[in-house]
Amino acid sequence: MGSNCRNRMIEVRGISKRFGRTELLKRIDLEVREGETVALMGPSGSGKSVLLKIITGLIQPDEGEVTIAGESVTKSNGRALDRIREKIGMIFQANALFDSLNVGENVAFALRSMRGTGPEEIYRRVREALNMVKLGAIEGMRISELSGGMKKRVGIARALIARPAVLLTDDPTAGLDPVTAKAIIKLLADIRKNVHSTGIIVTTALDAARRVADRIAFLDEGRIIAQGTLQELKASGPEIVRRFIAAM
């Protein structure tokens, strides 16, 4: 196997997904190489978040295959799928925090399901993850006590705690005010410099695509119609892509 094959971290091949009579994704192909981050952009309802959930194994496609580091997500289940998911950190759009758990328990959630991680190591990793997102010793706070920006940072910390090889981010600035959104984009850009993971970020924020991603894959009507750097898509992308970027 050549070096190019070894460097493929995320491979999406021929992915299709229907909901009722609506074919939301139509034979999607996407490749993300080790250490690269791709911004997945496109109009609302084009299937960006659904594709992200298929990559994590949360939704099963009707056709096609997803592999992470050569292991098939779509053909795995049970413990085999759990083992692949241990390589993935997911930052959810709505944070998906548990109100019944405090901050420290939320951040530690993924580690507690992994074997061989004792209480002292979990505590140390929680503090490390909270420091990475510029939060202090707030482990004992309730989720209801946090601002929207703090909740987003806790969600990012939870995704980072297991030191994932792959980081998937679903619209991290959705619902945030402009100042907080700018701070979250800066945080994600800083994390990108310090954590050498492979990533996909679904975003409607041009600044996030510019600062966090190496290139953009543009999804429209169920298909990826263009891929390239922001400069390439601005200069020579399809007209719909250039109009979309200009309107942002």
Rg of the chain (C-alpha set): 18
What is the rounded average pLDDT for all residues in the chain? 92
- What's the pLDDT score for residue 247? 83
Window from 5-9, 28-32, 132-136, 150-154 with minimum mean pLDDT: 5-9
Provide mean pLDDT across the span 87-103: 93
Q: How confident is the model at residue 5 (pLDDT cuts 50, 70, 90)?
A: very low
pTM as predicted: 0.90
Contact present, 171 and 198 (Cβ < 8 Å): no
List pLDDT tens digits, range 172-220: 999 899 999 999 999 999 999 888 889 999 998 999 999 999 999 999 9
Average pLDDT over residues 45-53: 92
Task: Calculate the alpha carbon distances from 77 to 10, 82, 85, 86, 223 in Å.
Answer: 18, 8, 11, 13, 27
Domain ranges of the chain: 99-163
What is the pLDDT, as a whole number, of residue 196? 83
Question: Confidence band (pLDDT; 50, 70, 90) for 119?
Answer: confident
DSSP code per residue over the chain: --HHHHTEEEEEEEEEEEETTEEEEEEEEEEEETT-EEEEE-STTSSHHHHHHHHHTSS--SEEEEEETTEESTT--HHHHHHHHTTEEEE-TT----TTSBHHHHHTHHHHTSTT--HHHHHHHHHHHHHHTT--S-TT-BGGGS-HHHHHHHHHHHHHTT--SEEEEE-TTTT--HHHHHHHHHHHHHHHHHS--EEEEE-S-HHHHHHH-SEEEEEETTEEEEEE-HHHHHHHS-HHHHHHHHT-
Pairing of strands 37-41, 198-202: parallel
Please state, for a pLDDT cut of 90, what percent of the chain lies above it: 79
Would you say residue 1 has pLDDT above 70? no
Q: Report angle CA 219, 7, 31 to the nearest 5 degrees.
A: 10
By C-alpha distance, which of 168, 192, 195, 7 is closest to 88? Answer: 168
Q: Quick one: pLDDT at residue 3?
A: 41
Q: What are phi and psi of 9, to 5 degrees?
A: -95, -45
Residue 115 has a pLDDT of 64
